[in-house]
Amino acid sequence: MNLNGAYEYIQKHERRFVDELIQFLRIPSISAHKDHDQDVERALDFDRKKLESLGFRTEVWPTRSHAGLFAERLVDPAAPTVLIYGHVDVQPVDPIALWDTPPFEPRVKDGMIWARGADDNKGQHFAQIVGVESVIQGGGGLPVNVKFIIESDEEFDGEAMAEVAPQHKEKLRCDAFVVSDSNFPDADHPAITVSLRGIQAVEVTLRGPSGDRHSGEWGGMLYEPIDVLRWVLQNLKDFKTGRVLVPGFYDDVLEPTAEERKAIAAYPWNDAQKAKEVGVKRLFHEEGYTTRESGTVRPTLQANGIIGGYTDEGFKTVIGSWARAKISMRLVHNQDPERILHLFEKHVRELVGDMAAAEFRRFGAGRPFRAEIKNPYVQAGLRALESGFGKPAVAMGMGGSIPIVAPLVELTGAPCVMMGFGLPGDNLHAPNEHFPLACFLGGARSAAAYLNEVASRVGAGSSR
């Protein structure tokens, strides 16, 4: 294929691609909020129409939650097949007051696109689609078979698509599974992510008295749900060392190897500078591990939200009848989310005893992932990034989770090439999310280059 032709095509149509992304970002596809269900559908439809316009055959796959999109354009049964992942749903936008401009009224400023989903994941996977278009229209046509699997539920259930994937095993057959849902350490180091933490998320509600009680009348005579919740939280994680206190939590944890620790130490990172960026006096780290190790190859536990009692304006002297925490655990090889959930629930029930009634509501789970850096499809990814961004690419670990990665790798047997285009400061899941245009266009070029690398240097079947 003609990679330069594809690059020229991207340059020539840059403005249209940005406009298309802006249209995509206008859709408030928040999967966690039921009143946005139609928007989530509209966002999936946006990708469907775009891919159909590029000659792809599409199918919508229902799930127990929001549906997924499958698309394929097969050019040669003998050629390698690349399966590309994305998700069209986005995180909620609160606290809305902290956004400088409305989250679903995208605008370009200071060389970036500002909107919810600009990076995660509309911008990133749309760069892949743009890369594919450039190869078709400017690069002489696809040199390999290309498939897409696009979720609209990654930020909510997280497992719904993985659950139905085995029904479509034959359609999902591929030689490489490309995921653009990660970031570079900084703008000067394009990177392939070779490890991801898994996740287990669960909401715990503790119910005490049958209604709110006057704290003057009852203070000192009740096990207060907020107190019991705090007691649970303090027994979930050691505040000083960062160790998770759920019995058995570390049983299956693989310690990072000396080689991994060396690679992590080489990653461009400065504690003091990062603390300043994030607005804190100093960073935390698990005892015995560096900050960066704590954030990527070590498991941890976060209370992502707590609520209980009176939280509105003013003061109300009540003992609240219930208290709730949303808790997620970040997992590493070889922790199993199901086993961790079981250990977690058992531990919490024992802590709570008869002081309250404990209810558990499970949210998304995902297994941790590790890639083999020497795999030729992963190596092709590093070369594609170097070509697309014009800078040497590195391999790195990432702290976040992409629940579908581990099951799809297992299902397809294909190596996962995590070629994300975002930057750490893009405010994912936070107000003022943005995505640099340089990342969007460099990502599109890298996506085109990847198909060229696979076609010209790897060849079918060489990965197994």
Which range touches its own copies (CB under 8 A), out of 48-56, 253-261, 285-293, 340-348?
285-293
Handedness of CA 171, 175, 181, 187 (dihedral sign): negative
- Smallest separation, CB 459 to its own copies (Å): 35
The Cα–Cα gap between 7 and 243 comes to 48
Among 161, 191, 323, 416, binds its own copies (CB under 8 A): 323
253 binds its own copies (CB under 8 A): no
Whichever of 266 and 430 has its CB closer to its own copies, that residue is 430
What string marks each residue from 329 to 348 as x (binds its own copies by CB under 8 A) or -? -x------------------
Whichever of 91 and 463 has its CB closer to its own copies, that residue is 91
Quote the tokens at residue 358: 């404990």
66 binds its own copies (CB under 8 A): no
Whichever of 81 and 328 has its CB closer to its own copies, that residue is 328
Strand-pairing partners, residue 113, are 108, 435
Omega within 30 of 0 (cis) for the link into 121 = yes
Closest to 13 measured CA to CA, from 135, 136, 141, 134: 134
Angle at the Cα of 305 from the Cα atoms of 183 and 67, rounded to 5 degrees: 60
Site for its own copies in 32-61 (CB under 8 A): 32-34
Q: Using the structure block, give the residue that is written with the tokens 């509501």.
A: 361
Among 388, 400, 415, 420, binds its own copies (CB under 8 A): 400
Angle at the Cα of 153 from the Cα atoms of 147 and 157, rounded to 5 degrees: 130
Q: Is the CB of residue 171 less than 8 Å from the CB of residue 408?
A: no
425 binds its own copies (CB under 8 A): no
User: Phi/psi at 224 (nearest 5 deg)?
Assistant: -85, 130
Whichever of 318 and 411 has its CB closer to its own copies, that residue is 318
Site for its own copies in 131-190 (CB under 8 A): 155-156
Among 102, 185, 376, 399, binds its own copies (CB under 8 A): 399
- Smallest separation, CB 430 to its own copies (Å): 4
The Cα–Cα gap between 223 and 226 comes to 9
- Smallest separation, CB 275 to its own copies (Å): 9
324 binds its own copies (CB under 8 A): yes
Which 3 state secondary structure label does DSSP give 463?
A: coil
- Smallest separation, CB 375 to its own copies (Å): 24
